[in-house]
A = this chain, B = another copy of it.
Amino acid sequence: MTAVKVTVIGAGSVVFSLGLVKDMCLTEGLKGSTVHFMDINEERLDVVYQLARRYAEDLGADLKLARTLKRAEALQDANFVINTATATHNEYFMRRRREMVAGHGYFYGGTGMPEFHNLKIMLDVAQDMEKICPDATILQAGNPVFDGTTLMTRETGIRVCGLCHGHYGYRRVASMIGLDPDKVTWQAPGLNHNIWLTQFIYEGQDAYPLLDRWIDENIEKYWEDCKDTGVPAQWSPAAIHQYKMYGLFPIGDTPRGAGWWYRSDLDTRTRWYGAGGGGDTPEGRDRILKGKEEKYAQMKAAAYDPDVRPVSLFGDQKTSEQHIPIIDALVNNHEYRAQVNVRNNGALPGIPDDVAVEVPAIVNQMGIQPIRVEPLPRKIMLECILPDWLQMEQGLEAFRSGDKSMMLYGVLDSPQTRSYDQAARVLDALFDIEPNEPMAYIEDIHDHYHWPKNWDLPA
């Protein structure tokens, strides 16, 4: 039993933070630990703090809680830092940006401009950690996990592990075809949001033939049944088409980010992702935003209402998030099998050592130990993994060099861009978009990027 200090950056994500608190409370080995919440939004921070405090009471847990608006204060003496902060992956900002770029001919924000603000947050946090708590491990929850984990491992000496829950898609695959997910032996390595079911074993047998039979016999009917309600991305026509192309089932977020030709406009999305085009559409995100607003209003009310106990809202069962089990494994040697994003170092063949790959890992007191997996099929490497890798490298080099023409290249490289002038215009508009609240805490994008020497755009 080891008491640790866990710092949560961007703690205002209420559901996420309360899930962490619950998992901490329900983990015997972490009794006496401290959770330090940090957020730039005082109201949200207080909502989380009040709910967490009362939740720990509900669960009778020995958990210390603290809160701050100052990152440096939160990082002091931290053993683990969970970073869920984001600037641009905010539903309000995404809607504003989406609507703005639609005026330049881009559907669903697909301009291709590389990330800046969230990478900058991640690097700022990791660099602060180097100064304040250099022995702490960062568990990166905010996106982009792939790019950000790679960046932090390259640019700092901090131990970095990116986490996602997309790999649980294997459970959805198993359940659908009538298998108990708990009895499945599986592997789905790759890059974050780009992972492939390389092993799928049930009761000692390869379960792919069962999957094939289920698809042959049921998929058309399933889609027909769902034609008004929509299908999950994991079982969408896009996912099945990817499977037919690649021979391995794409897991979790993989079909959501698949080839542009599944996603170029609403009609196309409806064909490949079912009714309404799936969740990744303007309407889908508006629904998510509405849901989040309602959830937050409910949370806020509950935080200050003595008659509502948090346990009635959040329950008393552990979440499926990996953060706390990983911490418990590292400090108490309670071995845990995780799916992590870490510096490759040969775990996934065919990808450079200094790139963050998503692979299974054994976690115990010896550390987070990635399992070296078999190479992915060459076709998947060439058409899915390496293009994604290359795009990540382009974005990170743009970030590292501050070369604005690399941001322009990213836009030109978008399958939705139709002309050089369109790209140049939307790039200007993206640089000049009105900042949101978190951006006040991040370097101005105009200060970070500059055109190359002697640059002049031919008219």
Contact = CB atoms under 8 A, between A and B. Distances in A.
A228 interface: no
A273 B435 CA distance: 39
Interface string A233-268: 000010011001101000000000001111010001
B405 A382 contact: no
Nearest to A271: B458
Interface in A366-385: 378-379, 382-383
A76 interface: no
Contacts of A260: 412
B390 A245 contact: no
A419 B268 CA distance: 8
A406 B453 CA distance: 40
Secondary structure of the A side of the interface? helix
Nearest to A383: B409
Given A423-B261, A456-B244, A378 B390 contact: no
A178 interface: no
Interface stretch (A151-159, A185-193, A393-401): A393-401
A141 B173 CA distance: 51
Nearest to A421: B261
A227 to B, nearest CB: 14
Contact of A455 (B244, B271, B452): B244
Contacts of A419: 261, 264, 268
Interface residues of A, number: 42
A354 to B, nearest CB: 13
A441 interface: no
Nearest to A408: B245
A386 interface: yes
Contact of A452 (B212, B245, B383, B406): B245
Q: How many copies does the complex hold?
A: 2
A417 interface: yes
Contacts of A455: 244
A247 B452 contact: yes
B393 A382 contact: yes
A458 to B, nearest CB: 6
A394 B409 CA distance: 22
Contact of A386 (B247, B390, B458): B390
A454 B406 contact: no
Given A259-B412, A412-B261, A397 B379 contact: yes
A91 interface: no
Contacts of A268: 419-420
A403 interface: yes
A415 interface: yes
A284 interface: no
A420 B261 contact: yes
A387 interface: yes
A244 B412 contact: no
Interface in A419-435: 419-420, 423
Given A244-B456, A247-B452, A452-B247, A397 B415 contact: no
A238 to B, nearest CB: 9
B454 A212 contact: yes
* Complex A-B, nearest 8 residue pairs according to Cβ-Cβ distance, in ascending order: A261-B420, A382-B394, A245-B405, A383-B409, A261-B412, A382-B393, A382-B397, A237-B458
